[in-house]
Structure 1
Amino acid sequence: MLKKLIGGVTTITALSMATAMTPVSAADISSEYKGRTVTILVGYGSGGTYGRTSLLLGEHMDEVIPGKPSMVVQHMPGAGGIKAANFFYNVAPKNGRTLLMPPEMSIVSELLRPKKVKYRCKQMTWLGRVFGQNSTIAVRRDSGVTSMADLKNKKITMASSGKGSPTFLIPATLNALLGTKMKIIKGYKGSRRMQLAMEQGEVHGIALGWTAWISAKPHWFKGMKKGTNNYAIPLVQSGYVKQKGIEHVPLIREFLPNKEDRQVAMMLGSASVLGRGLVLPPGAPKKLVKPLRAAFAKITKNKRFIKDAYKRGLEVNPLTGIEIQKIVNDLMDTPQATVKRARGLIFGKK
């Protein structure tokens, strides 16, 4: 499965280039959006990469959606993004004028917490992704932890937004698989507040997407490859392939000789592929899908959009809606044995 998905990510990059050139068709849908407002629902606060990416899309996508609607961003933080996803799937209007930026752990949360999650990833229509990133555990240098080996011997505290977030799932998984001693403190609203807590000494570290780290606190990691006295140390990353810029940081699976354990790590790594994107809810008019996917693909190739993204400390390495949909469907077919093992390890449930 790992080789299949890694190969798939490589292949679909080439497809993205071709799909992005598809012109946006205004046929039949301008009347759905002209003079209307489109809401982008986000399950996190405004300061982190979810907030900044949603604002970026909100400020640019009106140019390419037929009818040129106004766009607003609505924040609904809670439970690592699950609160907003549940609301979007079950309560929000299904007219195509409410879009969701789904949490990157959408698939993992649905597989591991089916009673808590009230949405179904396969039933949502994925419009595309702006960028993906590997979640990376980083800790303060003065925590006394400078390697994964240290994590097994020294207790440290980690900030988390909730059980549906990588900030919880990744340290919890490492505690279960490797015997690390991370105490997870939940309830922080967004990456900026967690980073502030780390800076103020409330916690020692966080498992955050690398883009969130390097865009908000680049000075914390200055000189890290040379082993200089940088403020924070990246210890391990979750994903299928190593993230550009931290190739020296090991992947979780490198510490897992057991095949079943590597499959659990693989499932967690799905977050690196989903990244930051948009979805339509089930029940939205089917005629909207093709034009909105084309609009998303077009804007992520727009030079002004890309320039604006980098000004905000964001990346642009897009995937199209069709590509993401295939990845989602494949990952949702993760063997039940792997799902049950992961659930038992992380939550102590069968």
Structure 2
Amino acid sequence: MTGTRKRLERTLWLSALTTMILTAPSAMAQSSVENFFRGQTVKIVVASGPSGGFDTFARLLARHLGRFVPGNPTFVVQNMPGAGGLRAAGYIAKVAPRDGLTIGAVQGGMVKAPLLGLTGADYDSTTLRWIGNLNSEVHVCVAWHTSGLKTIKEAMQKELIVGASAGADSELAPLTFNSLLGTKFKVIPGYQDGPRILLAMQRAEVVGRCGWSWSSVMSQHPEWVKEKTISTLMQWPTKHANLPNLPLAQEIAQSDDDRQAIEFLFGHLVMSRSYVLPPDVPVERLEALRNGFDAMVKDQAVKADFVKANHELAPSSGAEVQARVNRIYGTPKHIVEKALQAIAGAKR
């Protein structure tokens, strides 16, 4: 009996020792991450000006994420508009410190920008470290009421002047649809960001915008929809639940290659409210931010805040976003070439 008891005690002791050995590194890493983030300020660099959809989503993130990250750091927003989002994307990819204290809130289109040869997109999106995505977006083309256009078929018969930011979806989308669908959008690039395009519509400088997220339409100017100040012409890359009868761009396309080119150019919209770190950020800090993000989007108070702000919340994890980025980079070459031909008129 005594021998049996000793063997049992020895087994339990060895089991406890093994558990301590296995869990010690994890505990030490957690403590290290918590010590690093405690008292720190994490900067969220937003690739647009104040008041746009990217800005308001980033401010909601900044309001809540610190509660879910070890050490409870403070999050602040810094706007960095320019070059259709490429200025901020390039900063995150090439300039920002790689310590986990600088996060990018960049347009999803910046993922494929290097594949399109856009000026300033000299980076590899697969090397960036994705934290997570707050919403899957549906984009639309809209026409100002003075244009006289109410359907996408009419935009195939009559010119519609649309404002755009060079290199952004607001330029790439109308050029793509002109090439692949036969629309007659006249693109006026040069606007710094989305809010300035909306101001240009109000000033009658342009009479439309092609490449505006439906969630932003409904959070920024729901009265324009209600009062029919704008007509919504088409949607992509997926159908929005609240727009069941609005034509989908891929349904209008005449060939499978055309549909694939549209999906290559705009499939990133399912990760269009994504947050990203520079390359080579220490793995334990990336994981802390990813885990904090995943916990945050499940929190009931956070969900309520999004509802109050009239913003949709349809999140995906950092690992899911990273996998989608890798798939975009695996697009067949002939589809990429077709997409390049479609946007040949864009400033690149």
Q: TM-score, normalised by structure 1?
A: 0.87
Number of the residue aligned with 2:8: none
CA distance in 1, matches of 2:254, 2:72: 53
Deviations 1:55-92 (A, max 9, x none): 11111111111111121111111111111110111111
1:84 aligns with 2:93: no
Number of the residue aligned with 1:49: 53
> 1:127 is aligned with what amino acid?
I
Contact 2:82 2:193 in 1 (8 A): no
Contact 1:135 1:166 in 2 (8 A): no
Number of the residue aligned with 1:283: 280
Aligned counterpart in structure 1 of residue 321 of structure 2, from 306, 320, 324: 324
1:242 aligns with 2:239: yes
Number of the residue aligned with 2:140: 136
Number of the residue aligned with 1:183: 186
What is the CA distance between 1:115 and its match in structure 2?
5.2
The count of residues paired between Structure 1 and Structure 2 equals 318
What is the CA distance between 1:269 and its match in structure 2?
2.8
Aligned counterpart in structure 1 of residue 170 of structure 2, from 160, 167, 171: 167
- For the residue of structure 2 that corresponds to 1:126, the secondary structure is strand
> 1:105 is aligned with what amino acid?
G
Number of the residue aligned with 1:58: 62
CA distance in 2, matches of 1:162, 1:199: 20
CA distance in 1, matches of 2:218, 2:200: 17
Q: Which runs of 5+ in 1 are unaligned?
A: 1-24, 223-228
For the pair shown, the structure with the greater C-alpha radius of gyration is: 2
Number of the residue aligned with 1:17: none
CA distance in 1, matches of 2:200, 2:302: 32
Deviations 1:304-336 (A, max 9, x none): 212222222211111011111111111111111
What is the CA distance between 1:230 and its match in structure 2?
1.7
Most deviating of 267-276 and 120-129? 267-276
- For the residue of structure 1 that corresponds to 2:112, the secondary structure is helix
Aligned counterpart in structure 1 of residue 113 of structure 2, from 106, 109, 114: 109
Number of the residue aligned with 2:7: none
Q: Which runs of 5+ in 2 are unaligned?
A: 1-28
What is the CA distance between 1:250 and its match in structure 2?
1.1
Aligned counterpart in structure 1 of residue 77 of structure 2, from 73, 77, 80: 73
Alignment of 1:160-309 (within 5 A): 160-163=164-167, 165-207=168-210, 208-222=212-226, 230-239=228-237, 241-309=238-306
What is the CA distance between 1:187 and its match in structure 2?
2.3
Contact 2:100 2:286 in 1 (8 A): no
CA distance in 2, matches of 1:231, 1:166: 22
CA distance in 2, matches of 1:46, 1:307: 23
Aligned counterpart in structure 1 of residue 333 of structure 2, from 328, 333, 336: 336
Deviations 1:121-156 (A, max 9, x none): 111111111111111001123312122221122112
Q: TM-score, normalised by structure 2?
A: 0.87
Contact 2:107 2:274 in 1 (8 A): no
What is the CA distance between 1:216 and its match in structure 2?
0.9
1:125 aligns with 2:122: no
Contact 2:141 2:233 in 1 (8 A): yes
> What is the CA RMSD across the aligned residues, in angstroms?
1.8
Give the direction of change, closer, same or farther, for the CA distance of 1:322–1:261 in structure 2 (3 Å limit).
same
Number of the residue aligned with 1:10: none
